[in-house]
């Protein structure tokens, strides 16, 4: 389902030059489009053949995907018509619009419904943040990070996307925020010792590998601490998450700012 977070005409195909290795791997791998979408293969191959610099970048930034990139380009139709190439480029951009929007994080608050409609009070109802040490996993542009920083002693923003880490650091400097630290880290390999945090929270992160991801955020959370999942408001109904409730998470419901159902979750860690 389209997210409608970007207008592809506002972006260059060179936006792919800002993707990180893990994003390229997801795009090309089993979690992406490559294995089951003939239309995506045709359009991406066409766009890459017309943009050899991007092809070179994808091949060298993510060597494990180099053979797949070569295959895409070899099997793509021979196209020179600029209109067809532009259509292929726009298709490719829209296919990973959640990655492309990360190349312009300054526009995310305006373009992403889950940020635009968010109210910090929904987070504060889930746990007591006062004086706590908090980890935001997949911090993005800082929706949860900067909310928690209003009350917490320290907030660590773990974010694997480089453009987003830069944006967070720039905002911290601009706002003079003293209790937030930004670092690289992915949810299955968090760079912290066991039992570090009072609260571990995330938004659109948990869900690709439920058991391993939950195990890792549990590992870095203190006994008695809280795991929180806050996807934010959406311009459409969210569904109850049986993957979390079946694993012992409490599910809370509210009607979001757009008038649709939102479900947020928490679980107290007992070790």
**What is the rounded (10 degree) CA torsion for 168, 174, 178, 183?**
20
Alpha-carbon separation of residue 64 from 24, 76, 92, 122, 198 (angstroms): 10, 20, 20, 41, 37
pLDDT score of 124: 97
**Residue ranges of the alpha helices (H) in 29-96?**
38-50, 52-61, 66-75, 82-95
Q: Say if residues 161 and 136 touch (Cβ distance below 8 Å).
A: no
Sequence ranges of the domains in the chain: 8-103, 118-268
Tens-place pLDDT, residues 208-232: 899 999 999 999 999 999 999 999 9
pLDDT of 31 > 70? The answer is: no
Q: Say if residues 202 and 228 touch (Cβ distance below 8 Å).
A: yes
Tens-place pLDDT, residues 71-105: 999 999 999 999 999 999 999 999 999 999 999 99
pLDDT score of 144: 98
Q: How many C-beta atoms surround the C-beta of residue 177 within 10 A?
A: 16
- pLDDT confidence tier of residue 32, bands split at 50, 70 and 90: low
Out of 23-32, 153-162, 237-246, least confident range: 23-32
Q: What is the CATH number of domain 118-268?
A: 3.40.50.150
pLDDT of 30 > 60? The answer is: no
> Does the predicted model carry a pTM greater than 0.85?
yes
């Amino acid at each position: 389902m389209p997210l409608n977070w970007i207008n592809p005409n506002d972006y260059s195909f060179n936006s792919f030059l800002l993707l990180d290795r893990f994003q390229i791997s997801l795009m090309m791998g089993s979690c992406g489009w490559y294995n089951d979408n003939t239309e995506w293969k045709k359009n991406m191959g066409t766009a890459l053949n017309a943009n050899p610099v991007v092809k070179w970048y994808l091949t060298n930034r993510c060597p494990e995907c180099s053979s797949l990139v070569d295959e895409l380009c070899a099997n793509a139709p021979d196209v020179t018509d600029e209109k067809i190439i532009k259509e292929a480029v726009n298709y490719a951009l829209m296919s990973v619009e959640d990655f492309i929007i990360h190349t312009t994080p300054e526009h995310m608050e305006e373009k992403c419904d889950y940020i635009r409609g968010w109210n910090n009070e929904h987070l504060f109802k889930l746990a007591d943040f006062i004086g706590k040490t908090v980890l935001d996993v997949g911090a993005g542009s800082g929706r949860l990070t900067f909310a928690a920083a209003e009350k917490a002693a320290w907030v660590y923003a773990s974010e694997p996307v480089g453009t987003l880490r830069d944006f967070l650091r720039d905002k911290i400097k601009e706002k003079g925020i003293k209790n937030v630290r930004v670092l690289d880290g992915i949810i299955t390999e968090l760079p912290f010792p066991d039992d570090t945090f009072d609260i571990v929270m995330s938004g659109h992160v948990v869900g690709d590998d439920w058991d391993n991801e939950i195990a890792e955020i549990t590992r870095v959370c203190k006994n008695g601490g809280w795991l929180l999942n806050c996807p934010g408001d959406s311009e459409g109904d969210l569904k109850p998450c049986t993957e979390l409730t079946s694993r012992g998470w409490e599910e809370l419901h509210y009607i979001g700012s757009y008038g649709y159902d939102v479900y947020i979750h928490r679980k107290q860690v007992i070790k």
